Amino acid sequence: MVRRLLLSALLLGIAAPGLTAQDGPPADRIYIATFNIAYSDIPAWMESYNTNVVPILDAMVGEGVLNGYNIWMHHTGGEYTMRQGFIGHADTDYEAFWEDYLARYEAAHPADFAAGNAMIRAHEDEIFNMAVVSVTAAEGQPRYLYEAKFQVPFGELEEWDSIWEEHFVPVAEQMQAEGKVRGFVIQTHNTGSKYNWKFSWLFDEWDHFDEVEAALFSALPLDHKVFGMFYAHRDELWQVPPGN
């Protein structure tokens, strides 16, 4: 199985700006909460997030409850407009985290907590294992997250991982070494969502997208069995939200 987790310092490339590396267990899982918020509400929601939520999450990182966090806004694809990531480790109790996080938020800012919840028209939660995290250290959060989701038969995941490890990961590493991408992430399914495997590019600029995708697809001929192994596939592009 693909397993090349690079630890906390590299995760800062996909965490909120201003965080520093923490001692403790390696970041191993991510809880992803996606929300459908009207575009007209996003500026107010983000102002509240940056003013009231970020200090709470920073405190939880400092306490070792989380290893990091991030937030993205919808750009292209998908039905949700905002995406929060809470980066934990193998034994993170996310149920306890949510109870603690929401209790802190509501106690500190009750009116703001209620107003923010009222803006959420739909949501979806999922947990993924972070199998590969390779991010070049730099100032601030990458500007774009391109995520390709796959639904692969569980009985074929080991072979799927092996093919990616041998043929696609070296291409991704080369694109990162050339500075075409800030980095890449591979996530494997844990809980929630019909998609059970994800590959993500992290970009500072969008200029090289066609080039890196062409390089990735040139790793194997299109008649290779890997391109027929998944039942479903979906691409989504996320961008840095306003105020970040």
Cα dist from 58 to 52, 54, 67, 225, 239, whole Å = 11, 6, 10, 45, 21
Q: What integer pLDDT is reported at residue 87 of this predicted model? A: 95
Q: What integer pLDDT is reported at residue 12 of this predicted model? A: 39
Q: What integer pLDDT is reported at residue 21 of this predicted model? A: 32
Model confidence pLDDT, tens digit, residues 206-238: 899 999 999 999 999 999 999 999 999 999 999
The full set of domain ranges for the chain reads 30-127, 130-239
Do the domains 130-239 and 30-127 match in fold? yes
CATH of 130-239, one of 3.50.50.60, 3.30.70.100, 3.30.470.10, 3.40.640.10: 3.30.70.100
Model confidence pLDDT, tens digit, residues 63-88: 999 999 999 999 998 889 999 999 99
**Domain 30-127 falls in which CATH fold?**
Alpha-Beta Plaits (3.30.70)
Q: Token digits for 211? A: 């080039």
Q: What integer pLDDT is reported at residue 126 of this predicted model? A: 95
What does residue 208 show for φ and ψ, rounded to 5 degrees?
-100, 10
Mean pLDDT per 10-residue section of the chain, whose length is 244 residues? 42 35 58 96 96 97 94 92 94 94 98 96 94 90 94 96 97 96 93 91 93 95 96 95 84
- Is residue 18 within 8 Å of residue 146, measured between CB atoms? no
